[in-house]
């Protein structure tokens, strides 16, 4: 459309410059028009050829995948203590040696023989404590007026002592509880008629 308008304008100017229509040479007018149209077409092609092509989409680099370490949920989430499973015998009873390494912090307890002869003592954590552990600790041949030290974890205990004092044999027992937050020194005194549990010496 632009080309035709340009050509028409050019023709009008040429015709006006040439004077009267009778004096115009048709061959010259045609040659001028053809030359003008050729120039216009050439200029149009030149402009079209030098136009900047539309921008193309540039692909962005793909993001780098960062791998984070994964945790096995079964190794992270604590499970409830099963007293039966913690019992070495597998029966759920507490008639087996106590695993003191798994039973929690120990509380220093002084065991004193206050009889006139040797005694033996069995200490039994008779139900699973907060760490799911139970079992027994034994002390044999504790001599007259002698003592031993035990580290008892928190929980419900039963002490059973037996021995000979002078010419007679005896047994004595006691149930007691060791508190989890125990800061006092504990003491178990074995006598011929009973076992005494104290929190101070």
Secondary structure of 169-194 in the HEC alphabet?
EEEEEEEEEECCCCCCCEEEEECCCC
Q: What's the burial of 64, exposed, middle or buried (CB within 10 Å: 0-12/13-18/19+)?
A: exposed
Q: Which domains does the chain have, with CATH numbers?
A: 2-44 (no CATH), 91-198 (2.60.40)
Q: What's the burial of 9, exposed, middle or buried (CB within 10 Å: 0-12/13-18/19+)?
A: exposed
More confident residue, 161 or 52: 161
Q: State pLDDT tens for residues 58-116.
A: 555 555 544 444 433 333 333 323 333 333 434 468 989 999 999 999 999 999 999 98
Candidate from 33-47, 65-79, 141-155 with smallest mean pLDDT: 65-79
Q: State pLDDT tens for residues 159-178.
A: 999 998 777 899 999 999 99
Rounded distance, CA 134 to CA 156, Å?
Answer: 9
**This prediction's pTM:** 0.53
Averaged over 134-160, what is the pLDDT?
93
């Amino acid at each position: 459309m632009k080309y035709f308008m340009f050509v028409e304008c050019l023709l009008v100017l040429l015709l006006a410059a040439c004077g009267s229509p009778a004096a115009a040479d048709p061959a010259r007018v045609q040659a001028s028009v053809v030359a003008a149209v050729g120039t216009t077409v050439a200029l149009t092609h030149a402009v079209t050829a030098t136009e900047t092509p539309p921008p193309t989409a540039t692909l962005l680099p793909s993001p780098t995948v960062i791998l984070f370490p994964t945790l096995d949920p079964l190794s992270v989430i604590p499970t409830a203590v099963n007293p039966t499973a913690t019992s070495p015998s597998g029966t759920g009873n507490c008639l087996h040696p106590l695993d003191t390494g798994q039973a929690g912090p120990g509380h220093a307890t002084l065991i004193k023989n206050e009889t006139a002869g040797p005694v033996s003592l069995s200490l039994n954590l008779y139900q699973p404590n907060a760490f799911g552990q139970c079992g027994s600790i034994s002390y044999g041949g504790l001599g007259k007026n002698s003592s031993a030290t035990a580290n008892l974890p928190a929980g419900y205990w039963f002490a059973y002592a037996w021995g000979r004092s002078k010419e007679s044999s005896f047994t004595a027992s006691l149930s007691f509880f060791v508190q989890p937050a125990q800061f006092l020194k504990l003491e178990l005194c074995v006598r011929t008629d009973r076992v005494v549990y104290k929190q101070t010496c």
